[in-house]
Amino acid sequence: MKRTWWKEAVVYQVYWRSFFDSNGDGYGDLEGLIQKLDYIRDLGVDVIWLNPCYESPDKDNGYDISDYYRIMDKAGDMATFDRLLHEVHKRGMKLIMDLVVNHTSDQHPWFIESRSSKDNPKRDWYIWRDKPNNWRSYFTPSAWEYDEQTGQYYFHSFAVEQPDLNWENEEVREEIYKMMRFWLDKGIDGFRLDAIALLAKPEGFPDAENPYDIRYLTNNPGVHDYLQEMNEKVLKHYDIFTVGEVAFVSPEEGLKYVGEDRNELHTLFHFEVCDEMPTWDPIRFKQIQKRWYEGLWGKGWNSQFLNNHDHTRQVTRYGNDKQFRVESAKLLATLVHTLPGTPYIYQGEEIGMTGVKFDSIDDYNDIAMKNKYAEEVAKGRDPKEVLESLQLLSRDNSRTPMQWDDSEHAGFTTGTPWLKVNPNYKEINVKQALADPNSVYYYYKKLIQLRKQNSVMVYGTFRDFSENDPYIYAYTRELDDIRWLIVLNHCDNDNVYELPEELASAHRRLLLGNYTDVKEEGATLHMRPHEARIYALQ
């Protein structure tokens, strides 16, 4: 297997508007990130993934870009970005930028021209039709919006304010490639490509048999032609790392995006877990991991994550954020960092930050949640019930401000935060974590250090020894003559795991555990609630 720096990397995602506010306006910013770079470096991280900070009306928190060549005022300016990039590199880390090329803001000059008249030269830069089909968008009941000025509908896979670009138009593609070169020539180290599987649209836009199943938006014929062209004209000319956001994809289809012989992307985010597994389902999770391992191993590269800016914090959604918050946060970290693929840390995850339940829809900012709330209430549903049904998967669960200390607003800002801080910041914060040698933070440091020092965590083969066990997840990673065993008790109760003879006969040496008093045992492992252990086998 080909060895590369990005396969060996650990990535830390910075949702900058919620990270650290340097000027008291209530929004995190790039200067705030610069001030906290040592914190990220000390964790042991290699790569920072920065959420969009381009010029934007901010209808969808920066994913509606109105100028690809400017930094939005809330984030800072280009001089600050250049300094950020310099400071990241000075600390031996790399920076990848989140990039949206499926759509722009409706305030982008391209779209303003496109909608001005039917014969405008940029009319065909977006998708216009006389009649809409029955498709839904991710955020609204229809993927089409009527434009009175020209009497046609434009297409939007997401919010009304986010019209899709027409990737069939060569001029559009060349303009996008030019923009990508601009950022790469600055010295950034790659891209996280948002909604990249949506670039190609089905020919003719036929009505869907079930419009609520929005898979028709993704993985359509032509998308791989676009990505291979992007690679040929831009990506292959730089020593960078690319990861694509690819929804509704199987391992077989996923390999087309990341196959090392395909010349498209390096790795991908699939969402069989985060989008399609609302709560913890151990058997399903194991099946997903096995299928993706068998589908990609030796041919392409996977990513491991359980939360990000779009998904509820992992300890709330897939762990126990009350009785066993610290233990389950460490167990989930062990899971992500020892399964095959590149591990991602979402800011605050490393201190065990949790999701949140606000009392009113007015306290939420998530455009997808607010639109869905309005749609359901308009149907006559009880507002309280609708709010409760949407809270667990609201994107604001992961977007509440970073909890730095126990001072007002968790030390995130001296002003009024753009989104309310989680009320538990007094107990859960960076200051507390750094003062406790047994904190979640220091467990992450140990995991990352183990990965840096042991190639078996990166390049080792994977084998599941617990496929049908509803509580225990036990698997090995093996490289040359090195074999590791990972055992996780993913539940609130004690459990016993009987080692198979193949593993029981080996001498075990504990490398890392999330309980401090692990006793050596025979073939029977007595696992406590949310206990995680990593063994070296000899």
Is residue 32 within 8 A of residue 411, CB to CB? The reply is no
> Annotated catalytic residue: which of 29, 64, 98, 194?
194
Specify whether 349 is catalytic.
no
Tokens of 60: 């969808």
Specify whether the backbone of 411 is left (phi greater than 0), alpha (psi in -120 to 50) or beta. Answer: left
Residues 514, 531: contact at Cβ < 8 Å? yes
Q: HEC states along 21-77?
A: CCCCCCCCCHHHHHHCHHHHHHHCCCEEEECCCEECCCCCCCCCCCEEEEECCCCCC
Collapsed DSSP state (helix, strand, coil) of residue 452: helix
Half-sphere exposure of 197 (CA within 13 A, CB side): 26
In this structure, is the dihedral angle defined by the CA atoms of residues 367, 107, 211 and 243, taken in order, positive or negative?
negative
Choosing from 245, 272, 310, 350, which is the catalytic residue?
245
Q: Which of 5, 4, 8 is nearest to 450 (CA)?
A: 8
- Residues whose CB falls within 8 Å of the CB of residue 172, separated by 6 or more in sequence, listed in order: 125, 165, 166
d(CA 271, CA 253): 13
**56: its two tokens:** 């934007």
Nearest of 295, 292, 323, 294 to residue 305 by alpha carbon:
292
Annotation says 194 is catalytic: yes
Residue 48 main-chain phi, psi, to 5 deg: -105, 125
Which residues are known catalytic residues?
194, 245
